[in-house]
């Protein structure tokens, strides 16, 4: 029985264990999503979605078919150090800011985040967001002027939230908070705007103070005027009442005295006289009282007018001072505005000058490089031309030298042969060489005088020659003696002398050859020679 019971127990434990294993497996595959995360189930999911995103609650993950990961919803803070962004009025702006971003829980945006951010760490997500935020910041600043950026921060932040959110939503992110720390520009334009606003506020405060002072002064003057007028009226009425009472008292006293005197008088005549006198005195007293009253009233009126004029003078003085202060405030404001505009124009001028200088320097550098290249090319071309010309000249001179050397060698050989022919009479060689040059000498002489027209040639000889005759006769004689030798040498060398040197006929007598000059013509044709 015990064995059977043990077998039954073993059979029952196995299904229980299997059931417990299945329950544990199912419980393990059911994933719950914390409130600060998004559960992303990917793999085979319902519909055409690439992933199933759950925020809050939980879901069962099918083994082998599905898997899961979490996306954090923790806020991520990034520092954007934007520098040199170009605004709408072409002024570069620095706008360092702090952005707080996070993954959105909107169903569409959660799907975008699951597709583009799943598996990335926080640093990678912030780097992607930085690129998007930086580009959109520059785009927003480019659509606004400096005044709009600096004056209407709410509009600026609204534009940033709109543009940045639109781009961040594409990757599943959203902007939680934007904090623009400071806005500056390289040219100092924002500082100039602040200084102008401060100057305008100061001027407005000064104007308000002056207006309040003017209102106070006018109110005080009006109150003083009213007080003085009322005091003058009361004093005038008091004087008038006092004068009437005095007059009535005096009249009554006079009447009583007149009655007393009339009673004592004995006749109606005296009574009438007294009455007339009293009436006269009453009229005089009345006139004097009226005169005194009018003088006092005029005095009080003069004082009132004087007080009123003083009040008007004070009001005019206050108005003048107020106008002067307003003019001074306006002048200070205009000066501040002009200085701000001057600084802005100066900064723009320096910027344009720097830009122009940069462009001109680059252009000049390019031109300089082109000129250097052209100069180097021209120098190389000139050098090659000079080398070619030098080689040509050297070859030419070498050729000329070879020709001259050949000529000189030929002449040397000819001179050597000529000297050998002359034998023991080397002076004949000298004469022969002179004969070679006679043509040139004669040609030069003829060239020198060919354009001169001679009617006749006269030779003067003073007879101061040698003992044998005159100088001319000796010259002709010596010339005639040299002609046979010249003709002899020319015949040996095979050279024919010019016709104007004549010819030589030869005869043989006793084995001795004699030469006789047959003809020697020295006169030019058609010319007369006088000796």
Domain ranges of the chain: 74-186, 193-359, 427-530
The pLDDT value given to residue 2: 57
Residue 77 forms beta bridges with which residues? 100
Confidence of residue 102 (pLDDT cuts 50, 70, 90): very high
Residue 153's closest CA among 196, 344, 161, 166?
161
Is 475 or 14 the better-scoring residue by pLDDT?
A: 14
Residue 185's closest CA among 79, 86, 81?
86
Q: Is CATH 3.30.479.30 correct for 74-186?
A: yes
Distance CA 342, CA 330 (A): 18
* CB-based contacts of 103, cutoff 8 Å, min separation 6: 38, 71, 72, 73, 109, 110, 113, 117, 172, 173, 174
Confidence of residue 99 (pLDDT cuts 50, 70, 90): very high
The 10s digit of each residue's pLDDT in 328-350 is 878 887 888 888 888 888 888 88
Distance CA 64, CA 57 (A): 22
Residue 509 forms beta bridges with which residues? 512
Q: Identify whether the C-beta of residue 517 lies closer than 8 Å to the C-beta of residue 488.
A: no
Distance CA 401, CA 408 (A): 10
Confidence of residue 518 (pLDDT cuts 50, 70, 90): very low
- Segment 363-389 shows an average pLDDT of 84
Distance CA 278, CA 105 (A): 119
- What size, in residues, is the chain? 531
Question: Which burial class, exposed, middle or buried, applies to 522 when counting CB atoms under 10 A from its CB (0-12, 13-18, 19+)?
Answer: exposed
Pairing of strands 457-458, 529-530: parallel
The pLDDT value given to residue 75: 92
The pLDDT value given to residue 531: 33
The pLDDT value given to residue 510: 37
Confidence of residue 517 (pLDDT cuts 50, 70, 90): very low
∠ CA 343-345-346, nearest 5°, is: 60
Distance CA 110, CA 104 (A): 6
The 10s digit of each residue's pLDDT in 460-479 is 555 555 555 566 666 666 66
The pLDDT value given to residue 473: 64
∠ CA 34-39-41, nearest 5°, is: 155
Q: Identify whether the C-beta of residue 210 lies closer than 8 Å to the C-beta of residue 326.
A: yes
The pLDDT value given to residue 524: 43
The pLDDT value given to residue 30: 81
Confidence of residue 523 (pLDDT cuts 50, 70, 90): very low
Is 515 or 147 the better-scoring residue by pLDDT?
A: 147
Highest mean pLDDT among 98-102, 397-401, 467-471, 519-523: 98-102
- Judged by average pLDDT, the poorest of 30-34, 123-127, 418-422 is 418-422
Residue 80 forms beta bridges with which residues? 97
The pLDDT value given to residue 386: 85
Position 188 pLDDT exceeds 80: no
Distance CA 336, CA 124 (A): 50
Distance CA 231, CA 304 (A): 9
Q: What is the DSSP letter of 450?
A: T
The pLDDT value given to residue 8: 63
Position 527 pLDDT exceeds 80: no
Position 286 pLDDT exceeds 70: yes
Position 9 pLDDT exceeds 80: no
The pLDDT value given to residue 515: 39
Q: By percentage, how much of the chain surpasses pLDDT 70? A: 80
């Amino acid at each position: 029985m015990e064995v059977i019971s043990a077998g039954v127990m073993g059979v029952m434990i196995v299904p229980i264990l299997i059931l417990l294993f299945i329950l544990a497996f199912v419980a393990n595959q059911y994933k719950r999503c914390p409130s600060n995360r998004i559960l992303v189930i990917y793999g085979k999911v319902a519909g055409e979605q690439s992933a199933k995103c759950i925020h809050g609650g939980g879901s069962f993950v099918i083994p082998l078919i599905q898997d899961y990961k979490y996306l954090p919803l923790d806020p991520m803070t990034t520092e954007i150090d934007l520098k040199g962004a170009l605004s709408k009025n072409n002024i570069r702006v620095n706008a360092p800011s702090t952005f707080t971003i996070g993954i959105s829980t909107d169903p569409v945006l959660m799907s975008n985040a699951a597709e583009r951010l799943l598996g990335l760490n926080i640093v990678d997500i912030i780097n992607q967001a930085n690129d998007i935020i930086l580009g959109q910041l520059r785009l927003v600043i480019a659509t606004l002027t400096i005044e709009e950026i600096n004056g209407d921060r709410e509009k600026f932040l609204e534009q940033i939230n709109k543009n940045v959110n639109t781009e961040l939503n594409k990757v599943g992110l959203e902007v939680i908070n934007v904090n623009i720390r400071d806005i500056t520009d390289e040219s100092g334009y924002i500082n100039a705007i602040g200084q102008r606003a401060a100057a305008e506020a100061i001027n407005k405060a000064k104007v308000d103070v002056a207006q309040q002072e003017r209102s106070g002064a006018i109110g005080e003057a009006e109150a003083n005027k009213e007080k003085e007028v009322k005091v003058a009226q009361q004093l005038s009425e008091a004087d008038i009442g006092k004068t009437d009472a005095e007059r009535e008292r005096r009249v009554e006293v006079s009447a009583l005295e007149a009655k007393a005197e009339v009673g004592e008088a004995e006749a109606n005549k005296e009574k009438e006289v007294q009455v007339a006198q009293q009436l006269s005195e009453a009229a005089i007293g009345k006139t004097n009282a009226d005169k005194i009253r009018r003088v006092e009233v005029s005095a009080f009126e003069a004082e009132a007018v004087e007080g009123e004029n003083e009040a008007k003078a004070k009001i005019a003085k206050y108005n003048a001072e107020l106008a002067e202060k307003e003019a001074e405030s306006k002048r200070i404001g205009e000066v501040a505005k002009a200085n701000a505009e001057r600084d802005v124009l100066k900064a723009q001028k320096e910027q344009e000058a720097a830009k122009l200088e940069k462009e001109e320097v680059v252009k000049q550098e390019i031109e300089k490089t082109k000129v250097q290249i052209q100069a180097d090319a021209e120098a190389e071309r000139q050098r090659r031309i000079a080398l070619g010309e030098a080689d040509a000249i050297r070859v030419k001179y070498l050729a000329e030298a070879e020709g001259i050397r050949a000529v000189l060698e030929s002449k040397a050989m000819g001179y050597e042969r000529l000297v050998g022919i002359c034998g023991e009479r080397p002076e004949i060689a000298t004469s022969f060489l002179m004969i070679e040059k006679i043509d040139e000498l004669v040609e030069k002489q003829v060239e020198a005088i060919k354009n001169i027209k001679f009617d006749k040639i006269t030779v003067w000889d003073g007879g101061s020659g040698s003992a044998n005759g005159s100088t001319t006769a000796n010259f002709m004689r010596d010339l005639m003696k040299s002609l046979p030798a010249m003709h002899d040498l020319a015949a040996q060398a095979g050279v024919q002398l010019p016709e104007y040197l004549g010819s030589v006929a030869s005869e043989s007598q006793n084995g001795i050859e004699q030469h006789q000059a047959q003809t020697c013509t020295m006169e030019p044709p058609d010319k007369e020679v006088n000796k």
